[in-house]
Amino acid sequence: MPTSFAGKRIVIGITGSIAAFKVAGWVSTLAKEEARVTVIMTDSAMRFVTPLTFASLSGEKVYSDMFADGPDISHINLAMDADLFIIAPATAHTIAKLAHGLADNLLCATALATRAKMIVCPAMNSRMYSHPATQANIAKLKELNYQIIEPACGMMACKDEGQGRLPGWEQVQEIFLRSVSAGDLSGQRVLVSAGPTREHIDPARFISNRSSGKMGYALARTAYRRGADVTLISGPTHLPCPEGVKRVSVQTAEDMRTAVMEHFPQATVIIKAAAVSDFRPETKYTDKVKKEQAGLSLGLIANPDILQELGERKNAQQLLVGFAAESSDFLSEGKRKLQKKNLDLIAVNDITREDRGFEADTNQITLIDHQGVIELPLVSKERTADLLLDRIVTLLQTRRESHYLQ
Ligand code: CTP
């Protein structure tokens, strides 16, 4: 099931910090992504940004006064069963009130009443943030099951440097998406390998392939959104590490093998999206090979087949997924690799087309498992990742059910 904000009911509580203006951007993005956003502001928040800003961006009434609507508490009911309740920016004062269960304004009262998942994003001067009183209150909030998104470091509005800045949308959106997702991979430890490997010839040159890592990174990102604990073993790519994902960077196929084998025993789902070089130069020159050596021929030796080794080692609880990069005989090659490498699922890619496979932002894969073949549509790599994870969730479910029946 793809994870998105569409149709989700999200409450955002805004307190009195200059960072309130940044949250206007969050509300705008959430509304564009078809979330229903209800904003609750404290009196101090309204000194920084007007309620009209948030009402215009969310298309919804903004609430601030506990008594403004008399006995009509429908807005509180709305907040009570929201999909997600975010307090951002959260001042030291509001954090202290929440930690002690105080309810002297609409925001704190609603936060006490709600049973929605709560995320608090502190933003304040770094000395206020590091003060033991604030830290004790934050620790108390964690005990009370509030999720805290740590403030970022850098220059603050007061020109102090330190930790206290509200993080940007890029950092928080993945955490919010994970919170509103169905969480159908929660409890799973997913190991993804991605990108190419580089097999060095000399200090300047290497053998590699066209893999950009986009498919593997999309899988890591979407698995995190769906609740998994994700480790990404990545060959050299230009992609930023997806939020919430633990990345281990490697260069060669042998480095990748070492890293994968180290993380494999703890993993419950292993997805090998990496384009591992099948060969490496027999000799790695320590000095740069000079042109005068033209005519030099390069001897190649085979790299370990990491996936094959995982197939030999996997236990009955682990679900092993491979990719197959093919230019012809897609189905028969996919089926052959599924059997030969003892996989639970294989995703077959046509690498001859520009709109799928290597480097493209879109992909079209065929999934083959022991139940049959599923042809996925040509869609973004992110959507492909979600569809592949859907299949993994189904296979895990089938496995659980057959275990109970035994
Ligand atoms: N793979 C691997 N180690 C290798 C080569 C491939 O772990 N040395 C994995 C890839 O990560 C992928 C799968 O094996 O999940 C299939 O890779 P592919 O290049 O399609 O197939 P190969 O097994 O290398 O076979 P061939 O090149 O002959 O098609």
In three-state secondary structure terms, 396 is: helix
Distance from Cα 304 to the centre of ligand 1, integer Å: 10
C-beta of residue 306 within 8 angstroms of C-beta of residue 256? yes
- Residue 305 Cβ inside 6 Å of ligand 1? The answer reads yes
Q: Are residues 175 and 232 in the same domain?
A: no
Q: Print the domain residue range for 69.
A: 9-180
Q: Are residues 120 and 262 in the same domain?
A: no
Which pLDDT score, from 0 to 100, does residue 404 have? 72
Residue 354 structure tokens: 């520009």
Domain final residue, candidates 152, 180, 208:
180
pLDDT tens sequence for the chain (406 residues): 667 999 999 999 999 999 999 999 999 999 999 999 999 999 999 999 999 999 999 999 999 988 877 777 766 776 777 999 999 999 999 999 999 999 999 999 999 999 999 999 999 999 999 999 999 999 999 999 999 999 999 887 777 789 999 999 999 999 999 999 999 999 999 999 999 999 999 999 999 999 999 999 999 999 999 999 999 999 999 999 999 999 999 999 999 999 999 999 999 999 999 999 999 999 999 999 888 876 778 899 999 999 999 999 999 999 999 999 898 999 999 999 999 999 999 999 988 887 777 888 999 999 999 999 999 999 999 999 999 999 999 999 999 888 776 6
Domain tally, the chain: 2
Distance from Cα 193 to the centre of ligand 1, integer Å: 12
Q: Are residues 217 and 143 in the same domain?
A: no
Atom of ligand 1 nearest to the CA of 333: 29
User: Quick check: is 257 in a domain?
Assistant: yes
User: Quick check: is 292 in a domain?
Assistant: no
Q: Are residues 78 and 25 in the same domain?
A: yes
Distance from Cα 270 to the centre of ligand 1, integer Å: 14
Q: Are residues 211 and 321 in the same domain?
A: yes
User: Quick check: is 287 in a domain?
Assistant: no
- Is the omega angle on the peptide bond into residue 265 within 30 degrees of 0, that is, cis? no
Given its phi and psi angles, is residue 264 left (phi above 0), alpha (psi -120 to 50 degrees) or beta? alpha
Q: Are residues 148 and 219 in the same domain?
A: no
User: Degrees (nearest 5) of the Cα angle 286, 257, 240?
Assistant: 85
Kindly give the interhelix angle for 20-32 and 51-58, rounded to the nearest 10 degrees: 20
In three-state secondary structure terms, 405 is: helix
How many of the other CB atoms lie within 10 Å of CB of 261?
14
User: Quick check: is 285 in a domain?
Assistant: no
Torsions phi, psi for 276 (to 5 deg): -80, 135
Which pLDDT score, from 0 to 100, does residue 74 have? 61
Element (H, E) at 96: helix 92-99
**In 130-249, where do the E strands start and end?**
147-148, 152-155, 161-165, 189-194, 199-200, 206-207, 229-234, 246-249
Q: Which tens digits make up the pLDDT trace of 278-291? A: 999 999 999 998 88
Which pLDDT score, from 0 to 100, does residue 296 have? 77
Q: Are residues 128 and 193 in the same domain?
A: no
Nearest to 381 by CA among 351, 404, 359: 359
- Residue 278 Cβ inside 6 Å of ligand 1? The answer reads yes
If one residue of 264, 309, 323 were mutated to test the ligand 1 pocket, choosing by the most ligand atoms within 8 A of its CB, it would be 323
- Residue 324 Cβ inside 6 Å of ligand 1? The answer reads yes
User: Quick check: is 325 in a domain?
Assistant: yes
Domain final residue, candidates 180, 199, 214:
180
Torsions phi, psi for 16 (to 5 deg): -80, 80
How many of the other CB atoms lie within 10 Å of CB of 145?
8
Residue nearest to atom 17 of ligand 1 (CA): 324
158 belongs to the catalytic site: yes
User: Quick check: is 243 in a domain?
Assistant: yes
CATH code assigned at 377: 3.40.50.10300
C-beta of residue 207 within 8 angstroms of C-beta of residue 277? yes
If one residue of 209, 272, 277, 327 were mutated to test the ligand 1 pocket, choosing by the most ligand atoms within 8 A of its CB, it would be 272
Q: Are residues 254 and 343 in the same domain?
A: yes
Distance from Cα 208 to the centre of ligand 1, integer Å: 14
- Residue 88 Cβ inside 6 Å of ligand 1? The answer reads no
Q: Are residues 49 and 162 in the same domain?
A: yes
CATH code assigned at 88: 3.40.50.1950
Q: Are residues 55 and 151 in the same domain?
A: yes
C-beta of residue 53 within 8 angstroms of C-beta of residue 37? no
Residue 338 structure tokens: 């599924």
Distance from Cα 171 to the centre of ligand 1, integer Å: 33
User: Quick check: is 120 in a domain?
Assistant: yes
- Residue 390 Cβ inside 6 Å of ligand 1? The answer reads no
Q: Are residues 209 and 153 in the same domain?
A: no
Kindly give the interhelix angle for 20-32 and 169-180, rounded to the nearest 10 degrees: 50
Domain final residue, candidates 131, 150, 180:
180
In three-state secondary structure terms, 208 is: coil
Q: Which tens digits make up the pLDDT trace of 330-384? A: 999 999 999 999 999 999 998 888 777 788 899 999 999 999 999 999 999 999 9
- Residue 276 Cβ inside 6 Å of ligand 1? The answer reads yes
User: Quick check: is 52 in a domain?
Assistant: yes
Q: Are residues 266 and 359 in the same domain?
A: yes
